[in-house]
Amino acid sequence: MKSKKNLIEQLKSLPYFNKNVVYQLGKSYDLTNTTIDTYISRYLKSKEIIQLKKGLYVSADFLNKNQDDISYLFYLANVLRTPSYISSWTALQYYDLVTESIHTITLVTPKITKAYETKVGNFTYQSIRKELFSGFFLVKDRFDFFIASPSKALFDLLYFKTRQFRGVRFDDIKELIIDLRVDIDEMDNKEQKKFYKMIETYLNKK
């Protein structure tokens, strides 16, 4: 069973992995895919690895060392569903524009809406039209992740809260922001202008 122990030691260094990665690592120990499948089942049972979703895992050791790092959680969020970017409440909290604690990590994707409840955290992916899948950038950190700009994060929040601005007029926007308790005055002036321009452009196209 030395190979089983050596294999898990290698997996501990990875931020996440899928079965194909484990199969490749197993070849150096002359392990068959069937044996690897058995090992994975045992690792899961012994809680040495944690399933993020079907076929995607992280070692408990790596998670314990990094779960307090927000960049790691955001990085995993991008990995769970690709393409996607951090947005809405989660991004606004990241920018200190809301005071409430946000427990679910919210992302935007051009794919269908989906949610994952994992031992790492809860992740919600909201579906947006492809032409609106924009306004995000890559943050270089210990773990890199994609996140909306402050203006796009607020746009996305209102977009989903109002069901794509159904029945909303431009004059209603400030009141909506107040109701949601978003501190837009703390947002950079350029970002505020970008936000209102985004709203105006969208409403004029409706």
Give the domain ranges of the chain.
Answer: 2-64, 67-205
CATH domain 2-64 topology = Arc Repressor Mutant, subunit A (1.10.10)
Query: For residues 80 and 56, is the Cβ–Cβ distance under 8 A?
Result: yes
Query: Distance between CA atoms of 156 and 158, rounded to whole angstroms?
Result: 5
Question: How far, in Å, are 4, 54, 55, 86, 189 from residue 151 at the CA level?
Answer: 49, 34, 35, 13, 10
Query: Distance between CA atoms of 201 and 46, rounded to whole angstroms?
Result: 54
99's CB contacts (< 8 A; 6+ apart) are 181, 183
Query: Distance between CA atoms of 168 and 175, rounded to whole angstroms?
Result: 11
Query: Distance between CA atoms of 51 and 119, rounded to whole angstroms?
Result: 8
Supply angle C-alpha 130, 75, 117, rounded to 5. 85
Question: Strand 104-109 and strand 122-127: pairing?
Answer: parallel
Question: How far, in Å, are 103, 137, 172, 181, 189 from residue 178 at the CA level?
Answer: 21, 27, 10, 5, 17
Asked whether the bond before 110 is cis by omega within 30 degrees of 0, the reply is no
Residue type, 147: I
Q: What is the pLDDT of residue 1?
A: 57
Query: Distance between CA atoms of 155 and 199, rounded to whole angstroms?
Result: 7
Counting as low any pLDDT under 50, the low residues of the chain are none
pTM of the model: 0.94
107's CB contacts (< 8 A; 6+ apart) are 77, 78, 81, 84, 85, 86, 87, 90, 123, 124, 125, 126
In three-state secondary structure terms, 163 is coil
Q: What is the pLDDT of residue 205?
A: 87
Q: What is the pLDDT of residues 136-185, one digit of tens each?
A: 999 999 999 999 999 999 999 999 999 999 999 999 999 999 999 999 99
Q: What is the pLDDT of residue 100?
A: 81
